[in-house]
Amino acid sequence: MRARLNTTFQSLQVRNYRLFALGQLVKLIGVWMMFTTQDWLVFQLGGTAAQLGIVTALQFTPVLVLTLLSGRLADRYDKRKILFVANFAWTTLCILFSILVVSGAAQLWHVYVFATLLGVASAVETPVRQSFVSELVETRLLPNALGLSAATFNSARVVGPSLAGIAIALFDVGPVFVLSAVLAVAPLVCLFRMRPAELYRSELATAATREPAKVIDGLRYVRQRPDLMLPMVLMSVLAFTLFNFPVTLQALAKTGFHTGAASFGLFTTAVGLGALVGALVGGTRRARPSVYTVLASAMVFSAFGILVGILPVYWLVVAALVPTGFFMVLFAQAANQRVQLGTDAAFRGRVMALWVLVFMGVNPVSGPLVGWFADRYGAGAAIWLGGAAALVATTLALAYELRRSGNRLRILLRPVPSLRIVPLAAAAVPMAAGVPAGSVSERV
Query: Do residues 331 and 301 lie in contact, with contact meaning Cβ atoms separated by under 8 Å?
Result: yes
Q: Which of 327, 341, 349, 344 is nearest to 285 (CA)?
A: 341
Q: What is the pLDDT of residue 3?
A: 57
CA 1 to CA 13: how far, in whole Å?
18
Q: Based on the domain organization, do 275 and 343 belong to the same domain?
A: yes
Residue 288 lies in a domain: yes
pLDDT at 69 over 60: yes
Residue 352 lies in a domain: yes
Residue 109 lies in a domain: yes
Which amino acid appears at position 438 of this protein? Answer: G
Q: Based on the domain organization, do 300 and 419 belong to the same domain?
A: no
Residue 177 lies in a domain: yes
Q: Based on the domain organization, do 400 and 413 belong to the same domain?
A: no
Query: Do residues 20 and 190 lie in contact, with contact meaning Cβ atoms separated by under 8 Å?
Result: yes
CA 181 to CA 33: how far, in whole Å?
10
Q: Based on the domain organization, do 125 and 169 belong to the same domain?
A: yes
Backbone angles phi, psi at 420, to 5 degrees: -125, 150
Domain tally, the chain: 2
pTM greater than the 0.75 cutoff: no
pLDDT in tens, 78-92: 889 999 999 999 999
CA 108 to CA 46: how far, in whole Å?
8
Q: What is the pLDDT of residue 158?
A: 66
**Which CATH number is 106's domain given?**
1.20.1250.20
Which amino acid appears at position 201 of this protein? Answer: R
* Torsional class of 258: left (φ above 0), alpha (ψ -120 to 50), beta (otherwise): left
For the ranges 223-227, 313-317, 364-368, the lowest mean pLDDT is seen at 364-368
Q: What is the pLDDT of residue 212?
A: 56
Q: Based on the domain organization, do 410 and 400 belong to the same domain?
A: no
pLDDT in tens, 26-68: 999 999 888 888 888 888 887 777 787 788 778 878 877 787 7
CA-derived radius of gyration, the chain? 22
Is the alpha carbon torsion for 197, 199, 201, 207 positive or negative?
negative
Supply the range of the domain harboring residue 276: 2-199+209-405
Q: Based on the domain organization, do 224 and 188 belong to the same domain?
A: yes
Query: Do residues 127 and 69 lie in contact, with contact meaning Cβ atoms separated by under 8 Å?
Result: no
pLDDT in tens, 74-133: 777 888 999 999 999 999 999 999 999 998 888 888 999 999 999 899 888 888 888 888
Residue 8 lies in a domain: yes
Q: What is the pLDDT of residue 190?
A: 94
Residue 204 lies in a domain: no
Q: Based on the domain organization, do 421 and 347 belong to the same domain?
A: no
Residue 68 lies in a domain: yes
Q: Based on the domain organization, do 270 and 377 belong to the same domain?
A: yes
CA 116 to CA 56: how far, in whole Å?
9
Backbone angles phi, psi at 173, to 5 degrees: -80, -30
CA atoms lying within 13 Å on the CB side of residue 437: 18
Q: What is the pLDDT of residue 155?
A: 72
Alpha helices for 45-185 (secondary structure H): 49-76, 79-102, 108-136, 142-171, 173-183
Q: What distance lies between CA 198 and its chain's CA centroid? A: 28
Query: Do residues 71 and 215 lie in contact, with contact meaning Cβ atoms separated by under 8 Å?
Result: yes
Q: Which of 252, 24, 94, 265 is nearest to 163 (CA)?
A: 265
Q: Which of 301, 235, 240, 241 is nearest to 271 (CA)?
A: 301
Q: Based on the domain organization, do 414 and 337 belong to the same domain?
A: no
Q: Which of 343, 283, 250 is nearest to 47 (CA)?
A: 250
Alpha helices for 213-313 (secondary structure H): 215-223, 226-241, 245-251, 261-282, 291-310
- Residue of 386 and 355 predicted with greater confidence: 386
Residue 307 lies in a domain: yes
pLDDT at 25 over 70: yes
Q: Based on the domain organization, do 320 and 339 belong to the same domain?
A: yes
- Residue of 418 and 316 predicted with greater confidence: 316
Query: Do residues 39 and 52 lie in contact, with contact meaning Cβ atoms separated by under 8 Å?
Result: yes
Q: Based on the domain organization, do 322 and 441 belong to the same domain?
A: no
Q: Based on the domain organization, do 246 and 316 belong to the same domain?
A: yes
